[in-house]
Structure formats: structure tokens, C-alpha cells
Structure 1
């Protein structure tokens, strides 16, 4: 059924005048009359009674009018939702992330995104860097937050979300906590708590490189698969570890964070997504993520320089 004919019928039925109906739908009167006749022929019954004096609905026309309105309403709504989905306003978005993003970053990003785009359903999936890259390339995850560098499939695009040096997390009772700034050599005799080697963690890579640069190999006392586990081990006095700077913005009981004087290699988080035919919501998510990180860094800067 031609939707244009339905629109012409509704216009005539509501105006009860062919001339006014034609003006309303922006066509000539003869076109309205012709298309209405074709609609009646298609349906097999008369919708409009015509005379020189007036225009009125037949009984069947009265029955059909609310149905025609509903068809047009649902069609218009479907078109609006389709356009909204194409622009990232509605739809679904699956997001992979490494666990250190939970500290000060992910919550405000998700909160702001939901405030701006409440009709996009979000699915959050914690996963390590390599698993995220594989999932993005396969199309099972729309966008990921991963450390750099990473071995990327050709289809996966990235951009830097945040970059900052690592800091050392110390038990509050550790004598090094009395120093304003710690050098890597100060940690030579300290036990470390780290991610397992098989996790292929970027933080662990940077830690080992920094220790080697200071002339020692870290003595690993305990391992943990998540950052909050490592910080709990630090709080218990079992060792020290290195963490991204944004992690240090949240107080941890029994833990102090200190800058490292001779640690210059930044730890970066990337936004990663599939470059060919991406979910439109990835564009809006990236915009929100950058906005939140900029505000977060500005707030942290003000807090450290009152």
C-alpha cells in the first residue's frame, strides 16, 4: 500500500475539503483526487463521499481513518528510530575495558554517556588487552579501552584516550612513604606484587623495564589478576606495585602513592574500534570519553595545585 495515498486520505478526511487537503500535503488538488481514487480501487470500497456541496466520510471511511493514522504514526516512528540509530542516538553498544579504567574514568564516562544518549543500551565487558583486540576485530565488541602498544588487526582503529606516568603504591607503614618522590633504585630491595606474566600486562612490562633501567630485577612476592587485588596486597604490607596516575586519585586504606623521579615512559590507554562500518554509537562514546578525561585531568590538576 502506497503511504502517500494514506497521507492524502487522512488529509481529506480531516479537512473534508480537497483544496485544503491539497495545500496541506503540498500537491495540486487533482493529484489528491487521483491518488485517493487509486487507494479506493486498491481496497475495493469507497472511503469518501463526494458532491458539489460537501465532502464526507463513508461508514467504511470512518472505520479506516484511525487505522490509517496508526499506520502513518508507526511508519514515522520507525523512520525516526532508524535515523536516530544511524546517528548513534539509539541502539546498542558493547564496551570492553581493562580493570584500571574503573578508577575515576569509566564511571563518569558511562554516566555522562547515558545522560546524553539514554536510549543506547550499554553492555560492559571486562577483558584484557589482547582479548579485546580480537573481539573488536571479530565484531563482538564495538569499542574497547586498552593499554598501548598492542598488536592490532588491520581493521582496528585506535586513538589515545589518556596518557600519564605510573606511580608507586606503597604500604603506608613503609619508610619510603615518608619521601615526597621515590626513585626506582629505592625499590630494589622491596618485594613487588604484580600481575601474572601470562596476562601480558602493559603495567607489568613497564615495571620490569623500569626496574632493569635502575639495575635490578623485581622480586615478586605475590601475584594478582586485578588491580584492586594488588592494592589490597599492598595495603596488607606484602609489597609495592606500580599503578596509573588516575588510580592514585582515589584514596586506598593503608596505601600511599608517590611519584617516581626517574620514570618517564607514559602509560597510555587507547580507545579501539573496528574501522569498517562501525557502530554509530562508537563515535558519540569516543566524544564523551574524551570530554570526561579532559575534565578529570583538569580537576586533578587543580587539586594538586590549590
Structure 2
């Protein structure tokens, strides 16, 4: 079957004339003179190979061929209008899909408020939310499988990525309720030297893992890690059973387990940083909109080189 290339201007002229059934009225509606309209219709009829209108002194009527073409012409024009509107919405960041990676613990702190604010401002955007530790988020940003990351302890050096701090949290000790120190309001880190530890694996978030072990080292001991878990919920559950103690960001206190006590630690100056991460020179307007929804703090420009909690 022959493939016809029909200019949209000719289809538009055809539809308007089919609705007006009067060359003068149709030309006025299109904002052109009558002769150019007649030329458009004639060219279209030449391509179709049949007359689309019957012309008489009393007016214009559609031929059977014209009746057959009209629904398809209207559908084509509507489809184009819808496509243009969708393209404009995506281009302006009013629609489209935004893929967000987040560290699991942030579902207890910054994530709900951020997503609520963003959805209120941009209800037409589909949010694809993916739970993943910090290190996989960095890799996913590099391979473009996510657009934005919400992570803990971003690496100090990371090529082609930018970071903005959105939250700074103190650490707390996570203790079994029956632990001798659970009755205290504050625990000195050195007092945990003899306790077994439940920690996240370093591969999940090198920055947070190293910060926790560094705090222990500064307190005069190396944590004796006997259990590891990739989720803070699991860490707390293992602590509840008495398998060890842990150090965690303060937001983890929102995990409610009867057999777990969360206590302030001394020294109390150590804090863990939560940041939003994105690719440098990102062109996606949805990323810009998300960044506008988080706390406006200075952008931490990446230093060049390397790749690196939860």
C-alpha cells in the first residue's frame, strides 16, 4: 500500500473546512486568504487521488472520500496536540519520571517530607523510588539508572557528581534493654569496648562504616563485630536478641522495638551527614525541581577521582 506523506497544515485546513463547509468562513478561522486555502485542499485531494469536497454555488459538502478521511485527520491532529503538550510538560519538568535512590534509614527522617513536598508541587511526575545503600547509589548515578540519590556520608572525592547536605544527625548507642548501660541516659563510648557489635557491612556504605569504627578507635578500642546486617531494622532486631550493641544515626530511634534502648553517647560531637547527590551538568529539569524542594545549602562540588552509609 502506498504510504502518503500528508502535511499537517493540509490536514488542519481540511478539518476546518469540513467543519465550516464554507471556504470564506474556513479561511477566516485559519487566518489565511481564500486562494491559499483552496490550494491546500487541492494539493491534499491530489495526494488522496479523489475529491474530498463537492463544490457548488450553494456551498460545500463532503464527498464519501472526505467523510472517510475526516475521523483519521482529526485523530492525527489531536494526537499531535497531545504529544506537543506532553513534550512541553516533560521539558518544563511538570511531567515525566524521576528515579530516586535512598538509603533505608532515610525513610525514617528526610524522605517522607521531601517526597510529600515534591508531589504537592509536581503531581504529574511519576516517582520511581528505589531503596539502596550509599555505595550502590553512587554506582547507579554513574551508570544513569537513577537520577538522584539520598545517601549517608557521601565520599569526599567522586568524579562527575555533586552533593548537597540536607541533614546532620548525631549518633546514638543501640543497646539491648537488658544491657547494664541501658539504664543510663548517656553512654561513654569507651564503656562499650567489651561488648560485641552488630554493624552494617562496609561495602554497603564505606563512609558511615568508617565513621562508626573511627569513633570507637578514638575512644580507645576496635569494635569486635560479631554480626552484620544490611538494614538498620535488622541491626536493631539482632541487638534486641542480645547478640550485640551498635552505633547508629539518631533517626534510627524511630524503629520501635520493646527490647532495644537508644542512648546518647559521649563524646557527643560526632555527626553523620545526609546528602542529596546528582550528576554534574544534569539536564533533567525534574532533578532541578527536586533540589529546590530540599534545604537550600551550598553545593559540594566534587573533587576529581575515586569511587565510594546507609
Task: State TM-score, norm by structure 1.
Answer: 0.82
Residue 182 of structure 1 aligns to a residue whose secondary structure is strand
Aligned alpha-carbon RMSD (Å): 2.8
- CA 1:229–1:49 in 2, change beyond 3 Å: closer, same or farther? same
- CA 1:156–1:203 in 2, change beyond 3 Å: closer, same or farther? closer
8 A Cα contact 2:134 2:154, kept in partner: no
Q: Distance in 1 between matches of 2:179 and 2:40?
A: 86
Matched, 1:192 2:197: yes
Corresponding residue for residue 204 of structure 1: 209
Q: Distance in 2 between matches of 1:6 and 1:107?
A: 49
Corresponding residue for residue 267 of structure 1: 272
Q: Which residue of the other structure, out of 67, 72, 75, is the alignment partner of 2:72?
A: 67
Deviation of 1:218 after TM superposition, in Å, equals: 2.4
Corresponding residue for residue 299 of structure 2: none
Matched, 1:41 2:46: yes
Deviation of 1:105 after TM superposition, in Å, equals: 4.1
Q: Distance in 1 between matches of 2:159 and 2:226?
A: 39
1:115-154 paired onto structure 2 within 5 Å:
120-150=125-155, 152-154=157-159
- CA 1:200–1:65 in 2, change beyond 3 Å: closer, same or farther? closer
Deviation of 1:202 after TM superposition, in Å, equals: 2.8
Q: Any unmatched runs of 5+ in structure 1?
A: 292-306
- CA 1:153–1:19 in 2, change beyond 3 Å: closer, same or farther? farther
1:8-157 paired onto structure 2 within 5 Å:
8-106=13-111, 109-110=114-115, 120-150=125-155, 152-157=157-162
Matched, 1:254 2:259: yes
Q: Distance in 2 between matches of 1:289 and 1:41?
A: 59
Bigger mean CA deviation after superposition, 213-222 or 264-273: 213-222
- CA 1:35–1:251 in 2, change beyond 3 Å: closer, same or farther? same
Corresponding residue for residue 222 of structure 2: 217
Q: Distance in 2 between matches of 1:76 and 1:42?
A: 24
Summarize deviations over 1:115-174 as a string: whole Å, max 9, x none. 665654544443332332122112222222222231554322222232222222222233
Q: Distance in 2 between matches of 1:145 and 1:175?
A: 36
Corresponding residue for residue 180 of structure 1: 185
Q: Distance in 2 between matches of 1:137 and 1:197?
A: 20
Greater fraction of residues in helix: 1
Summarize deviations over 1:183-231 as a string: whole Å, max 9, x none. 3334334332112344443332222222233233323332222211110
Residue 221 of structure 1 aligns to a residue whose secondary structure is strand
Task: State TM-score, norm by structure 2.
Answer: 0.81
8 A Cα contact 1:84 1:90, kept in partner: yes
Residue 176 of structure 1 aligns to a residue whose secondary structure is coil
Q: Distance in 2 between matches of 1:220 and 1:230?
A: 12
- CA 1:290–1:31 in 2, change beyond 3 Å: closer, same or farther? farther
Summarize deviations over 1:2-49 as a string: whole Å, max 9, x none. 111111111111112223223323333333222222222222221122
8 A Cα contact 1:210 1:263, kept in partner: no
Q: Distance in 2 between matches of 1:252 and 1:153?
A: 37
Corresponding residue for residue 243 of structure 1: 248
Residue 260 of structure 1 aligns to a residue whose secondary structure is strand
- In the alignment of these two chains, the number of paired residues is 291
Deviation of 1:71 after TM superposition, in Å, equals: 0.9
